[in-house]
Amino acid sequence: MGDPKKILELKQVVFDAGIVAAETVLVAADQDIDDCTGYASAEGTGTGNITLAAVAARIEHPRNVVVTIAGTHLTGGTVKVYGMGMNGKPTSEEFTLTGAGTYTGNVPFLTIDKANIFDVTGTLDATDNVYIGNGAKIGLPMPENAKLVDVVKERFNAVDIAVTPANINRTYGTYTPTSTLDGSKVLEIWYTVETLLNW
């Protein structure tokens, strides 16, 4: 039996001038954790709903999410984000909290529909807040059964930019641009994907 057949394709994606750098509050801004009903409950038993930003203000291009916990009293907990993935199917990502800090996700979301905080431990007060924003990792469109092979070219504001190989995540199909996104310039990425033929 021969080797499996594969197709290697070169793809291009162009993000309009509205693409911005990572934004810590784009999805959910500055919410007092102990005001979220069920924040200390187990998942599925009164899970604390985090209030999302208006639909128009959520992730405008496929991005990972970043959860930020402020304050000094939270000692543990979980944030789970639900939405639509790059293949148009429901997806989610769970963040295990150990205290204040920034928790960076990997899954690129096209939309975010819900975020919950639960299993929180510690004696919280009004200084213990949660924020959810979009991260710097951009999801690259590809067929569901394809995998990212390489990013071969980045152009920003019509200028060629050196690709940073360490910023390619082949597992999740994302790339963190070398450019500094500012919401006013066009980003163009050329990349290769490999698809295994099942016939």
> Does the structure show a pLDDT above 70 at 2?
no
Structure-token match 């500055």, residue found: 30
Helix and strand numbers (H, E) in the chain are 0, 14
Q: Tens digit of pLDDT for each residue in 80-139? A: 999 999 888 899 999 999 999 999 999 999 999 999 999 999 999 999 999 999 999 999
Which residues, 6+ apart, have CB-to-CB distance to 199 below 8 Å?
none
Domain ranges of the chain: 6-19+139-196, 23-138
Which two structure tokens, joined as six digits, stand for 120? 């929180």
What does the block give as tokens for 23? 């934004």
In DSSP terms, 59 is beta-bridged to none
Average pLDDT value over all residues in the chain? 91
- E strand segments, 44-145: 48-49, 63-70, 76-85, 90-97, 101-104, 109-121, 129-139
How far is residue 73's CA from residue 123's CA, in Å, rounded to a whole number? 6
Position 57 scores a pLDDT of: 61
- pLDDT attached to residue 43: 81
pLDDT in tens, 156-193: 999 999 999 999 999 999 999 999 998 899 999 999 99
Q: Domain 23-138 falls in which CATH fold? A: Jelly Rolls (2.60.120)
CB 50 within 8 A of CB 149: no
Tokens in use for 49? 């709903």
| DSSP letter, residue 162 | -
CB under 8 Å to 2, separation ≥6 — which residues?
Answer: none
Amino acid in the structure at residue 27: V
